[in-house]
Amino acid sequence: MSISMLCSLSNSISSIRRILSSLGNLSKLLHLDISLNELQGELPISIGNLHSLEELDLSANFLSSEWPISIGNLSSLKELDLSQNISFGELPISMGNLGISLN
């Protein structure tokens, strides 16, 4: 099985600090949980390549106010959890196109 066929990825409570741009290569990913990691900085533009993604949990991190417009490309996204973030700034207008449940 190729890593690009990965459907679910959970990496809660680890020591990673940044989200790698190669994350966008996981085109079949349905669920991504990278909560509780103290992630810092910005989401990579490549996150918009995760067209199959249904659930994204970014809770309990330190994400910056720079959100890529490409996040609006997540057409399958149903749930987004941004709770308990120190600062996540304004979400891009492109997210208004998504029919999601926002926590």
- Please tell me which residue, 53 or 91, carries the higher pLDDT value: 53
**Structural contact between residues 24 and 43, judged by C-beta atoms closer than 8 angstroms:** no
- Average pLDDT on 57-72 reads 83
pLDDT 10s digits, 2-59? 554 445 555 554 556 677 788 888 888 999 988 888 888 888 899 999 999 999 998 8
Q: What are the CB-based long-range contacts (under 8 Å, 24+) for 14-23? A: 17/41, 19/43, 19/44, 19/47, 20/44, 21/45, 21/46, 22/46, 23/47, 23/50
